[in-house]
């Protein structure tokens, strides 16, 4: 093993130790305050037709537009124009999905949808309180995700003997928009606002509640988290998929737990948005993309 690779490994080990200590402190306080205790399970009758229609539209829109744009446009236009096209098509597909969810879920399936977003038994609790819990929960999950990310990076360095792990697609996505302010703003809206709303409603709200009809709550959270993580798989990320998917799985488990804990989708949406926001701020101002 060369000196450069060993230096990278030691840096990741130091990072893992730091975040492990931070994790023990923050999670220890949360455990002492009984934050990790879940109340009795409440099931929502998410019908198969409701679940199937939403996910079919989601996958057709999300993966269909991405695949078509990659296959048809990347070969025929220059990279700058392709970035512009991809950013805009990604943003527009997200807006179209939000419109579809509003028309289908709130107009035709209102009762189920409102139960997914917030349990009736907790109707007196304000949306602001749920949002605050979600934002504050970042202090718990960030050191946990960072610890596992460092451990997985060490695993990649040691097992595959690489000196540089490929970057996440989302990072390349943001980097490519930095010199175009309009595209950069559109990309930020997609990552900070649209993605958390869509993904939390689809995975924690619809999928997790649907699986709870057939599985124990803990198993439903775990299976939802696995599906959520692998939904972010990208061949272009290569070995980085190990760290990215592993970290996303840990984050997803906590998001699923938080949804069951608060019985409100507002909390995981705001945690997801906070996580994405701070990750982007770290990339822009600390790592200097």
Who's near 174: CB < 8 A, 6+ residues apart? Answer: 184, 187, 191, 280, 283, 284, 289
| pLDDT given at position 191 | 93
pLDDT of residue 5: 67
Give me the phi and psi of 237, to 5 degrees please: -80, -15
Confidence at residue 220, expressed as pLDDT on a 0 to 100 scale: 97
Closest CA to 257 of 217, 211, 210: 217
For position 59, what pLDDT does the model report?
A: 86
DSSP category for residue 264 = B
Taking the C-alpha atoms of residue 154 and residue 7, their distance in angstroms, rounded to an integer, is: 11
118 in helix, strand or coil? strand
Distance of CA 177 to the CA centre of its chain: 21
Q: What is the pLDDT of residue 211?
A: 97
Tokens 């996910």 label which residue? 55
pLDDT at position 272 is 98
Q: Spell out where the chain has E strands.
A: none
The whole-number pLDDT of residue 176 equals 76
Distance in Å from the first CA to the final CA of the chain: 29
The pLDDT, as a whole number, for residue 286 is 67
Enter the tokens of residue 187.
């990309």
Q: Which two tokens stand for residue 225?
A: 């988290």
Separation between Cα atoms, residue 56 and residue 44, nearest integer Å: 20
Per the CB < 8 A criterion, the answer to whether 226 and 211 are in contact is: no
Residue 205 near residue 116 (C-beta atoms within 8 A): yes
Q: Which residues contact 277 (CB under 8 A, 6 or more apart)?
A: 192
Q: Report the C-alpha gap between 183 and 167 in whole angstroms.
A: 20
Structure tokens at 207: 């999928």
pLDDT of residue 235: 77
The answer to pTM > 0.75 is yes
Nearest to 59 by CA among 100, 107, 87: 100
For residue 237, the 8-state DSSP code is G
- Kindly give, in sequence order, each residue whose CB lies less than 8 Å from that of residue 268, ignoring residues fewer than 6 positions away: 134, 200, 204, 255, 256, 258, 259, 262
Tens digit of pLDDT at every position of the chain (289 positions): 566 667 788 999 999 999 999 999 999 999 999 999 998 888 899 999 999 999 999 988 877 766 665 565 555 555 556 667 778 888 989 999 999 999 999 888 899 999 999 876 555 578 899 999 999 999 999 999 999 999 999 999 888 877 677 666 667 777 778 888 888 999 999 999 999 999 999 999 999 999 999 999 999 999 999 999 999 888 777 888 999 999 999 999 999 999 999 999 999 999 999 999 999 888 777 665 5
Cβ distance 97 to 58 under 8 Å?
yes
């Amino acid at each position: 093993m060369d000196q450069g690779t060993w230096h990278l490994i030691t840096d990741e080990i130091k990072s893992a130790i730091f975040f492990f200590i931070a994790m023990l402190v923050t999670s220890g306080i949360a455990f002492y305050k009984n934050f990790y205790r879940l109340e009795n399970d409440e099931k929502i009758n998410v019908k198969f037709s409701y679940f199937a229609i939403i996910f079919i539209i989601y996958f057709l829109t999300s993966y269909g537009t991405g695949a078509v744009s990659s296959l048809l446009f990347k070969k025929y236009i220059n990279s700058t124009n392709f970035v512009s096209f991809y950013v805009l098509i990604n943003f527009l597909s997200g807006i179209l999905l939000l419109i579809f969810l509003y028309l289908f879920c709130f107009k035709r399936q209102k009762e189920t949808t409102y139960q997914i977003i917030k349990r009736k038994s907790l109707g007196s609790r304000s949306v602001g309180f749920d949002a605050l819990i979600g934002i504050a929960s970042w202090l718990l999950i960030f050191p946990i995700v960072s610890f596992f990310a460092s451990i997985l990076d060490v695993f990649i360095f040691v097992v595959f003997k690489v000196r540089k792990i490929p970057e996440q697609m989302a990072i390349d996505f943001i980097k490519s928009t930095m010199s175009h302010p309009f595209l950069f703003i559109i990309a930020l809206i997609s990552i900070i606002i649209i993605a958390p709303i869509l993904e939390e409603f689809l995975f924690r709200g619809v999928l997790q509640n649907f699986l709870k009809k057939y599985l124990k709550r803990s198993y439903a959270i775990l299976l939802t988290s696995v599906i959520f993580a692998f939904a972010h798989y990208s061949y272009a990320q290569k070995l980085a998929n190990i760290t990215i998917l592993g970290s996303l799985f840990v984050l997803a488990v906590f998001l699923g737990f938080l949804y069951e804990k608060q019985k409100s989708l507002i909390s995981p949406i705001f945690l997801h948005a906070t996580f994405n926001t701070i990750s982007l701020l770290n990339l822009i101002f600390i790592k200097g993309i």
